[in-house]
C-alpha cells in the first residue's frame, strides 16, 4: 500500500493548495484499496451488486435456431426474384414443442415466436404477409428475403465466450442475461460499509429545538441518499459536536466498523474547531506509513476544501460543510472512489456517468483555472436537440437548486466564458441521484 506522500510524489504538478479536479480522482484511485471478499448470492439479491469474476457462457443463447415472429418457416432458397411463392403447410412448430417431421421442397411449417426452426428451414414470413388458401399459403413477391426473421443459435451469447466482465454493476438486464444462462446464483463483491457523520456545534439533529445561529443537519440525509443509491451499507453516526473526546470516539468507531468514512464540515481554511486536529491525530496508524491525512484546496466550484486520508487502512473523505458542496464533491470524487473500492470496472457507466453535449441557452461567466459544476436543467428544444440552462443562484448553500436541477453543467479546468449557443458538457442525474 502506497503512502499518501508516495501517491502525491507520482502525480505531476501535485499542489494541495491548488489541485485540479482530475488530479483528485487520480490521487483517490491510488489511495483506496480494491475488494478482496466475494460472496455467492441468488440473482434476486444481486441487483446493483458488483460482479466479482468474469462470467463465461456455459451454453449457446439461444440454444437453437428459432423464429423471431409468428409466421411460416420455409427454405429461403425457394424464393425467386419478382415471383410469388406458393407452399403447402405440413405442420406446426410451437415454442417448447418443435416440429418433428421432415419438410420437403414446396412445403412450409406454421411457426410461433421462439419455436425451434425445423431442419433445413432458414426463413420465416410473418403470418400477416401471406395469403391463405386451404392448406396452402402464398408469399407475395419481395415480402421477405432468405434468412429473414430467424434467430441463429448463439446469436446472443456463444458457449465459452464472455457473458459479463468482472467489475460490471449488475442491472436488470444483467440479471436477465445471467438467468438466460441457467445460473441461479452469482459471485459478487461484498457490499461496502460506509460510516458517515456531520460535525459542528451549530448543527442540529432533527427533533432538537431551534436555537439562534444553528441549522438543521441536511448533509447526513443527502449523503445517506447518495450512498443508498449506490447500494452501500450505511452506518449513521449522527451529528458530532466540536469536542475532541466526541470527535475521537466517532472517528475510532467509524474506523472499527466501516470500509470507508465520510464526514461533512470542519475542513475549510481557517476553521478553528477541533475537526482538522482530530483528523490529523486519529489518521495515524499503528502500522507506520498506512495512516495520514491531507487537506486540499481544489480548483473547483463549489466545494473547494476537502480532506482525504486513511485511518489505518480505512479511507477517509472529509467533505466541506455547505450542502451543495457536499453533494458535488461526493458525486465528483467520493462516488468514483467508493465504486472502485466496491470492485466496479472503471469503464462502467455506474462509476462515471457519461458527459452529454448540450447547447447553452445563456451566457455564463467562467474563469479558466478551475472546474465548475453548475446546477442545471437539461431538456430538448423544439428540434429535439439537448439544451441546458442553469437553475440561477449557484451559491453552495442553496440546496433547493439541487432539487430543481436534473443535472450538472460541467465547465472544465481550462474552459472560459460560455456564450449562448455554445456546446457544453452536462452530467445528468438520472440513475445517479
User: For residue 207, what is its C-alpha cell?
Assistant: 427533533
pLDDT of residue 288: 64
The per-residue pLDDT for 13 is 85
The sign of the torsion formed by the CA atoms of 112, 113, 119, 123 equals positive
Q: Which helix (H) or strand (E) holds 427?
A: strand 423-428
Give the distance from CA 243 to its chain's centroid: 38
Q: For residue 133, what is the enclosing H or E element?
A: strand 131-133
Q: Are 217 and 229 in contact (CB under 8 A)?
A: no
What is the arrangement of strands in the sheet containing 136-139, beginning at the earlier edge strand?
123-126, 71-74, 107-111, 85-93, 136-139, 131-133
Q: Do domains 44-59+155-189 and 66-151 have the same CATH topology?
A: no
38-86 per-position pLDDT tens digit: 999 999 999 999 999 999 999 999 999 999 999 999 999 999 989 999 9
Q: How confident is the model at residue 273 (pLDDT cuts 50, 70, 90)?
A: low
Query: Average pLDDT, stretch 185-190?
Result: 98
Non-local (6+) Cβ contacts of 64 within 8 A are 116, 117, 153
Confidence of residue 350 (pLDDT cuts 50, 70, 90): low
- What CA–CA distance (Å, rounded) separates 295 from 306? 6
Residue 272 pLDDT > 60:
no
Q: Please indicate whether residue 261 or residue 244 has the higher confidence score (pLDDT).
A: 261
pLDDT at residue 287 is higher than 70: no
Contacts of 204 (CB under 8 A, 6+ apart): 210, 211, 214, 215, 216, 217, 239
The three-point CA angle 229-235-240 to 5° equals: 120
- The whole-angstrom separation of Cα 214 and Cα 82 is 83
| All residues at 6 or more sequence positions from 231 whose CB lies less than 8 Å from its CB, including other chains | 48, 49, 191
Mean pLDDT of the region 263-279: 75
Distance CA 324, CA 293 (A): 23
Domain positions in the chain are 4-37+191-341, 44-59+155-189, 66-151, 356-428
**What number is the average pLDDT over the span 232-257?**
94
pLDDT of residue 284: 73
- What does CATH list as the number for 4-37+191-341? 3.40.980.10
Q: What is the pLDDT of residues 149-168, one digit of tens each?
A: 999 999 999 999 999 999 99
User: Distance (Å, rounded) from C-alpha 251 to C-alpha 274?
Assistant: 12
CA 382 centroid distance within chain: 30
Residue 32 phi/psi, 5-degree rounding, is -85, 145
90 and 156 Cβ atoms separated by less than 8 Å: no
CATH number among 2.40.340.10, 3.30.200.20, 1.10.1060.10, 3.90.950.10, domain 356-428: 2.40.340.10
Rounded Cα gap, residues 166 and 346, in angstroms: 11
pLDDT of 290 over the 80 cut: no
Three-class SS string for 212-229?
Answer: CCCEECCHHHHHHHHHHH
How confident is the model at residue 105, as a pLDDT? 96
**pLDDT 10s digits, 297-331:** 999 999 999 999 999 899 999 999 999 999 999 99
Backbone angles phi, psi at 167, to 5 degrees: 95, -5
| Element at 194 (helix H, strand E) | strand 193-199
Is the domain spanning 44-59+155-189 CATH 3.90.105.10? The answer is: yes
Per-residue confidence (pLDDT) for residue 283, from 0 to 100: 77
The CATH number of 66-151, from 2.170.190.11, 3.90.1010.10, 3.40.50.800, 3.40.50.10540, is: 2.170.190.11
Instruction: Look up the pTM and report it.
Output: 0.89
> What pLDDT is attached to residue 150?
97
Give CA–CA dist 319/327, Å, rounded: 9
- Is the pLDDT at 205 greater than 60, yes or no? yes
The pLDDT of residue 19 is above 80: yes
Instruction: Count Cα atoms within 13 angstroms, Cβ side, for 43.
Output: 14
pLDDT at 271 over 80: no
- Report pLDDT for 281: 85
Could you give the percent of the chain with pLDDT greater than 90? 83
Amino acid at each position: 500500500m502506497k503512502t499518501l506522500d508516495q501517491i502525491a510524489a507520482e502525480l505531476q504538478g501535485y499542489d494541495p493548495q491548488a489541485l485540479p479536479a482530475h488530479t483528485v480522482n487520480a490521487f483517490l484511485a491510488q489511495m483506496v484499496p480494491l475488494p478482496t471478499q466475494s460472496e455467492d448470492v441468488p440473482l434476486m439479491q444481486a441487483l446493483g451488486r458488483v460482479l466479482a469474476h468474469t462470467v463465461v457462457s456455459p451454453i449457446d443463447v439461444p440454444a437453437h435456431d428459432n423464429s423471431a415472429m409468428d409466421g411460416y418457416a420455409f427454405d429461403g432458397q425457394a424464393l425467386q426474384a419478382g415471383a410469388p411463392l406458393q407452399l403447402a403447410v405440413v405442420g406446426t412448430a410451437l415454442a417448447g414443442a418443435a416440429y418433428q417431421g421432415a419438410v420437403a421442397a414446396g412445403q412450409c411449417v406454421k411457426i410461433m415466436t421462439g419455436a425451434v426452426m425445423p431442419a433445413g428451414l432458414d426463413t420465416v414470413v410473418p403470418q400477416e404477409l401471406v395469403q391463405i388458401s386451404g392448406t396452402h399459403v402464398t408469399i407475395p413477391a419481395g415480402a421477405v428475403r432468405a434468412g429473414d426473421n430467424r434467430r441463429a443459435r448463439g446469436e446472443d451469447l456463444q458457449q465459452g465466450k464472455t457473458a459479463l466482465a468482472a467489475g460490471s454493476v449488475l442491472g436488470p438486464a444483467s440479471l436477465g442475461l445471467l438467468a438466460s444462462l441457467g445460473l441461479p446464483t452469482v459471485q459478487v463483491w461484498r457490499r461496502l460499509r460506509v460510516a458517515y457523520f456531520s460535525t459542528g456545534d451549530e448543527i442540529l439533529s432533527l427533533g432538537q429545538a431551534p436555537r439562534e445561529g444553528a441549522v438543521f443537519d441536511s448533509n447526513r440525509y443527502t449523503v445517506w441518499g447518495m450512498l443508498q443509491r449506490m447500494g452501500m451499507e450505511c452506518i449513521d453516526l449522527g451529528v458530532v459536536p466540536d469536542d475532541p473526546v466526541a470527535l475521537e470516539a466517532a472517528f475510532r468507531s467509524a474506523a472499527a466498523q466501516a470500509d470507508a468514512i465520510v464526514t461533512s464540515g470542519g475542513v475549510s481554511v481557517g476553521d478553528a474547531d477541533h475537526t482538522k486536529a482530530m483528523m490529523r491525530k486519529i489518521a495515524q496508524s499503528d502500522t507506520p506509513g498506512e495512516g495520514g491525512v491531507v487537506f486540499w484546496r481544489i480548483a473547483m466550484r463549489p466545494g473547494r476544501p476537502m480532506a482525504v486520508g486513511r485511518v489505518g487502512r480505512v479511507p477517509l473523505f472529509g467533505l466541506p460543510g455547505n450542502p451543495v458542496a457536499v453533494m458535488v464533491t461526493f458525486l465528483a470524487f467520493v462516488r468514483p472512489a467508493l465504486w472502485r473500492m466496491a470492485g466496479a470496472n472503471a469503464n462502467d457507466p455506474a462509476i462515471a456517468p457519461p458527459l452529454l453535449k448540450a447547447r447553452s441557452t445563456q451566457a455564463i461567466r467562467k474563469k479558466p483555472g478551475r472546474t465548475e459544476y453548475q446546477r442545471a436543467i437539461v431538456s430538448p428544444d423544439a428540434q429535439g436537440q439537448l439544451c441546458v440552462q442553469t437553475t440561477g443562484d449557484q451559491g453552495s448553500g442553496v440546496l433547493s437548486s439541487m432539487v430543481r436541477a436534473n443535472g450538472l453543467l460541467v465547465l472544465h479546468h481550462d474552459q472560459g466564458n460560455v456564450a449562448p449557443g455554445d456546446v457544453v458538457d452536462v452530467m445528468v442525474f438520472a440513475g445517479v441521484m
